[in-house]
């Protein structure tokens, strides 16, 4: 058995019967949907056309939500249905970041993730999903893809079908007959700011807070037209990549500009699911890991023995910020009481689990190092290198976690690994330089000052490399546009580049305790600004 869906757009009349039936079958609360119908209009009166597209979980053969879920709350059944168990869900929202189709949501009543589960309760008793039964035009076809005699298999063999975002490699099992790319590709029909159903842009229920700030400072219609124009300009200049998908996107961009395409009905936006708490957790984790990494560098490379007080300070910073990191991780969950499930009911393919264990072992080794320092008045060599290894893993595992969030193209950059590592070195050096200044050890101050300056310069190179390196997808390119222009341009350029990178380098090179102290504090603030932009900006890209 291998269940899938076909949506026959030749028959769909946009009646929303499937949405209503789904809500009734599963008691889906107001403001969220397991399945919904998206409307897109193209053309100008009187030559207009309205496109209908039924949106829902694609029950992917290689589901990224299953891979990233830390507690196996999401799982693929033997019959191919991607199901979920809300009793295991910790509401970390990682599955929502991993899904390229915007199919998951947080149920405002259970505070756990939810989505279309193919009406598994009905399928198990030999019935069809409720949306299939209620559709008046038989526009939704379900069945066993492995059975050549099933209706769905015969349709797949006979008709030309399309899927959404096939390039993601998820092998979706939701197929569209006569699917229009302008309707299926969210990049080509942005949510407008004023139309018949524009009130949805403010969100409903659980998503009201997120959606109200989703596009703050940005005009989605103007942004879509700007990016479409840029794509056409690149193609006309011969600078666009020569691949079929890119050429098709350029042609669709021309259609967007010429046919007056607009989205007139859709599900409410989910907005930025990972907010300041996640950015702060990445920042505090960098400080914790970096403090020990820079301590190791000072022990091995500085031409001066480290005072015990300084070593205690470094360990104290690492442990304290590790505790803050854990608190932020728990605070970001909608089910914080279930946090222990990450360690007790682990899905080892998830980097949330691997990272959780890395942080746990790092904390244990930091504690052992502190005990060894107290008993032996020095750090044990074996414990030193073991702790450094887990500090390194703690620093960079977030890059692998973000890469599992396949719905956010900008996070797929290989530059995320050096990004996280360099941020840890800069954050640790900034904190330890402040500690060294209070210890009044000139040799140590000079060494850490060099590490911090070098880290800031390397960070600038890595940061701009992530931005200027050609990105393979339109979503990633649009994220870069938002970072360097609006709505994140002021925070990125002023907070991250000028005040957080350039000015600290000048102050640190100038010398003087006060200037170095100010430079260190500015470097820490600049890192947070960059992390906030890197975490938040990719989430403003519409996935459906």
CATH number of the domain that 367 lies in?
Answer: 1.20.1630.10
Q: Does some domain include residue 346?
A: yes
| 317 and 191 in a common domain | no
Number of domains in the chain: 2
Higher-pLDDT residue of 443 and 138 is: 138
| 372 and 312 in a common domain | yes
Q: Does some domain include residue 79?
A: yes
Residue 261 dihedral angles phi and psi, to the nearest 5°:
-80, 135
pTM as predicted: 0.88
Q: Return the exposure string of 501-518: e unless at least 16 CB atoms fall within 10 Å of the residue's CB, then b.
A: bebbbebbeeeeeeebee
3-state SS assignment for residue 134:
helix
**234, 265, 296 - which closes a domain:** 265
Q: Does some domain include residue 271?
A: no
Query: Mean pLDDT over residues 225-250, rounded?
Result: 49
| 18 and 127 in a common domain | yes
pLDDT of residue 195: 53
pLDDT of residue 198: 53
| Contact assessment for residue 63 and residue 83, using Cβ atoms and an 8 Å cutoff | no
Q: Burial, 381: exposed, middle or buried (Cβ in 10 Å; 0-12, 13-18, 19+)?
A: exposed
| 307 and 158 in a common domain | no
pLDDT for residue 221 is more than 50: no
| 354 and 224 in a common domain | no
Q: Domain containing 54 — which CATH number? A: 3.30.70.20
Query: Mean pLDDT over residues 24-40, rounded?
Result: 93
pLDDT for residue 213 is more than 60: no
| 306 and 247 in a common domain | no
**246, 265, 284 - which closes a domain:** 265
Q: Does some domain include residue 448?
A: yes
Q: Does some domain include residue 109?
A: yes
Q: Does some domain include residue 341?
A: yes
**265, 295, 321 - which closes a domain:** 265
| 462 and 369 in a common domain | yes
Higher-pLDDT residue of 224 and 525 is: 525
| 313 and 242 in a common domain | no
| 298 and 253 in a common domain | no
Q: Kindly give the pairing relationship between strand 74-76 and strand 47-56.
A: unpaired
Region of poorest pLDDT, from 34-48, 227-241, 357-371, 433-447: 227-241
Q: Does some domain include residue 270?
A: no
pLDDT of residue 199: 53
Q: Does some domain include residue 202?
A: yes
Q: Using CA atoms, how far apart are residues 197 and 147, in angstroms rounded to an integer?
A: 41
| 287 and 229 in a common domain | no
CA dist 413 to 186, 234, 402, 423, Å? 21, 22, 9, 16
> In 3D, which of 353, 424, 416, 365 has the Cα closest to residue 390?
365
| 248 and 360 in a common domain | no
pLDDT of residue 247: 54
| 354 and 295 in a common domain | yes
Using a pLDDT cut of 70, give the percent of the chain over it.
87
Query: What is the span of the domain harbouring residue 87?
Result: 3-265
3-state SS assignment for residue 2:
coil
């Amino acid at each position: 058995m291998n269940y899938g869906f076909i949506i026959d757009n030749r028959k769909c009349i946009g009646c929303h019967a499937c949405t209503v039936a789904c809500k009734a079958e599963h008691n889906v609360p107001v403001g969220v949907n397991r399945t919904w119908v998206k409307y897109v209009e193209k053309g100008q009166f009187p030559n207009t056309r309205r496109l209908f597209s039924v949106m829902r979980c694609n029950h992917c053969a290689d589901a990224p939500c299953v891979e990233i879920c830390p507690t196996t709350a999401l799982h693929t059944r033997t019959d191919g249905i991607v199901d979920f168990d809300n009793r295991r869900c910790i509401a970390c929202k990682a599955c929502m970041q991993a899904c390229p189709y915007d199919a998951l949501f947080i149920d405002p009543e259970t505070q756990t993730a939810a989505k279309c589960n193919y009406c598994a309760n009905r399928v198990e008793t030999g019935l069809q999903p409720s949306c299939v039964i209620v559709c008046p035009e038989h526009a939704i076809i379900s069945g066993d893809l492995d059975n050549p005699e099933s209706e769905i298999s015969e349709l797949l063999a006979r008709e030309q079908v399309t899927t959404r975002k096939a390039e993601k490699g998820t092998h979706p099992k939701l197929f569209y007959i006569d699917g229009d790319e302008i309707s299926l590709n969210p990049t080509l029909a942005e949510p407008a700011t004023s139309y018949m159903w524009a009130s949805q842009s403010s969100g409903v229920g659980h998503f009201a807070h997120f959606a109200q700030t989703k596009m703050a400072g940005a005009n989605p219609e103007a942004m879509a037209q700007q990016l479409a124009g840029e794509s056409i300009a690149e193609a006309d200049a011969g600078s666009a990549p020569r691949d079929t998908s890119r050429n098709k996107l350029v042609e669709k961009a021309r259609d967007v500009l010429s046919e007056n395409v607009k989205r007139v009905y859709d599900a409410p936006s989910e907005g930025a699911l990972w907010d300041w708490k996640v950015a702060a957790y990445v920042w505090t984790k960098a400080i914790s890991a970096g403090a020990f990494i820079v301590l190791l560098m000072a022990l091995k490379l500085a031409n001066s023995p480290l005072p015990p007080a300084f070593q205690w300070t470094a360990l104290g910073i690492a442990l304290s910020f590790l505790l803050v990191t854990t608190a932020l991780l728990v605070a970001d969950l909608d089910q914080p009481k279930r946090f222990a499930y990450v360690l007790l009911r682990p899905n080892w393919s998830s980097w949330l689990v691997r990272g959780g264990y890395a942080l746990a072992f790092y904390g244990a080794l930091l504690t052992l190092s502190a005990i060894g320092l107290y008993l032996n008045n020095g750090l044990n060599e074996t414990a030193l290198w073991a702790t450094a290894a887990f500090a390194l893993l703690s620093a960079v595992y977030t890059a692998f976690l973000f890469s599992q969030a396949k719905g956010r193209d900008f996070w797929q950059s290989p530059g995320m690994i050096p990004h996280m590592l360099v941020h840890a070195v800069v954050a640790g050096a900034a904190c330890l330089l402040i500690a060294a200044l209070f210890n009044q050890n000139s040799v140590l101050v000079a060494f850490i000052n060099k590490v911090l300056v070098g880290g800031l310069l390397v960070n600038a190179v890595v940061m701009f490399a992530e931005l200027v390196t050609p990105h393979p997808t339109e979503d990633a390119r649009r994220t870069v546009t938002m970072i360097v222009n609006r709505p994140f341009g002021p925070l990125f350029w002023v907070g991250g580049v000028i005040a957080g990178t350039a000015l600290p380098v000048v102050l640190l090179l100038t010398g003087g305790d006060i200037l170095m102290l100010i430079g260190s504090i500015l470097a820490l603030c600049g890192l947070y600004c960059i992390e906030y932009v890197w975490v938040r900006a990719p989430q403003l890209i519409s996935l459906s």
